[in-house]
Every structure is written in C-alpha cells, then in structure tokens.
Amino acid sequence: MIFIMGAGAFGTALAISLAQDGNVTIWARDALHAEDMGRHRENRKRLPGVPLPDQIEVTSDLHRLSPANTVLLAIPTQKLRAALHTHASKLAGATLVACCKGIELSTGKGPVQIINEVLPNAKAAILTGPSFADDIARNLPTALTLACADDAIGEALQQELTTPNLRLYRTTDVIGAELGSALKNVMAVGCGTVIGAGLGESARAALVTRGFAEMGRMATALGASAETLSGLSGFGDLVLTCGSQQSRNFRYGFSIGQGEVFDSAVTVEGAATARAVRDIAHAQSLDMPITNVIASLIDQELRVDQAMDMLLSRPLKEE
C-alpha cells in the first residue's frame, strides 16, 4: 500500500497514476476536504475535472499507516518539517519519498535533509523532475528522477513507483536532485517576470541559459554532481517550468512583471527558495547575480527595469 500525504494537485495526480498498479491512500490534513474528495470522487478544489479511480481511498486519519508503507510526502517544503514533527510517531522507520521542491528558508536545507534531521530512522528519498500535476493526472507521459542515498532502497522504490506514464531514473546524488529541483523554481520566477514585463523570448532564453550556469555553480560547490544538474531534476524541470503558464512559479513571476498582486493562496516554492539561496550564496561567496536580483524583486527591493539594468551592466567576461 502506498500512502500519499498531501491532497493538493500534485499529490492527487501521483495517486491517480499509481492507482493503475494498485491501491493508494491519500491523506488530507483537512477532514472536510477529504470527505468532499471521497464523496465526489474528484479533487474539486485542486484538480477539478479529473475523476479518482476506485483504487484510491481518501482519508484525514493516519491510523492505517505503518512503517511497512511507502509514504509520498506531497507537502510544500516550507511546511514539511512541521508535518513530520506532528506525525513523527506514525512516520518513524517508514520509507519517505519527498515530492516537493525547494529549500527551507529558516535552515537552508532540502526536503531529504529535513527528513533525515527530524526522523533519522526513516528511509528518505526524493522524487522530482519535469511534471505538471494535470499532465500526470491525465496519464500523459513524463520521466522523473528518484534520488536515494541507499541505492538498494532506491532500486526498490524505482520498481514500486514506476507506472505506465511515469518512467523513473534513479541516482544516489540526493544533493543534486534537491538543488536542481529547488533552483529551477527561482529561474522560473525570473522567466515569468521577463515575459510579464514584455522583455521578449530572447531575454527569456538568455536568462534560462545563464540561470542554468548559476544552478550548476551552486550545486557543485555544495557537493552535487554536474551530471545530475544536466538531468531531469535540473535541466529537464528548468525547461518545463520556465516556459509554461502551468508553472505556479512562472505565473508568480509573470505577475511581478505585470505589476499585479499574485494570489496568496497559491503555493510558490520559488519565492522562499530565492531568499534561501541568496543567503547560502552569500555565506559560500558564490556569484549568483540572477538569483540575487530575483530575490530582490520578490522582496520589492527593485523594480524590473532596475533589475535588468543591474544584470546588463555587469562587467563583461568570458562565457
């Protein structure tokens, strides 16, 4: 039995895909939300129009959860630590797969690092890569990265979580997978800002390219493999989120470029991550000009025209 903690769009989409091969339980924090999903057989709040297969049970109670279960944590990174503390007695010793992307603002840690810190006896992994919830829920194909420090556990998870529309590639480079999936959100905010401000497709392409260079610079400095950043969890997800309005981070950046207020009810991992990355880069003396500018735009310390002037007036150098 696979448990998915988190009844948002992505958690629901993963459940729909995994239900092709067996029973899945979705846990919702809100009992009313769980009841509504169970009654209508649809996540009307987060993924409307997509029916839930009969193999999916929705609950707000973790009473059936045991250490023998694989638990997918589809919980925003900034809320992950609190959820793990709250349900520590149920999750201790289980196999926990983070399905969130970001860096914790208060500590600078990624999802697997948070799991290892709060629940050191759990077996931790991360599932990430180019994946929009709507695509997965409608059984459209994609490929993802499954990163686990223990390759034997990673191989077992790869077999368990692969579905007809989800092809999983595994790696032991957890740091690379965490950072690739987190840093691409920052660049997606930047690309949304570029398009929202009407700066053009050429500017977006330039930002993606130079942003990817920044991603690699930070990741390798923190112990990741450059090869991981060039894979699905880094470059693959970067391409997806920097070019589509389906990306919440892109839409958030687009609103900045347009000078509009973004819906505060929508989770935007890239906002907190940009601030966290700026702090890490400063502490590590890393040159991250695009990230710094995006963080300043998010904090309303710069206007878009000022941000572009800062980037374009930097000293010329070799690529």
Q: Residue 24 has what DSSP assignment?
A: E
Interhelix angle 174-196/289-298, rounded to 10 degrees, is 60
Query: In this structure, what token pair is assigned to residue 53?
Result: 């297969």
User: Do residues 136 and 165 touch, judged by C-beta distance below 8 A?
Assistant: yes
User: Cα–Cα distance between 262 and 192 in angstroms, integer?
Assistant: 12
- Amino acid occupying residue 17: S
User: Do residues 101 and 182 touch, judged by C-beta distance below 8 A?
Assistant: yes
Distance of CA 138 to the CA centre of its chain: 19
User: Do residues 221 and 286 touch, judged by C-beta distance below 8 A?
Assistant: yes
User: Cα–Cα distance between 44 and 55 in angstroms, integer?
Assistant: 18
- Amino acid occupying residue 88: A
Phi (first) and psi of residue 300, to 5 degrees: 60, 35
- Amino acid occupying residue 310: M
Q: What is the largest CA-CA distance in the chain?
A: 61
Residues with catalytic roles:
184
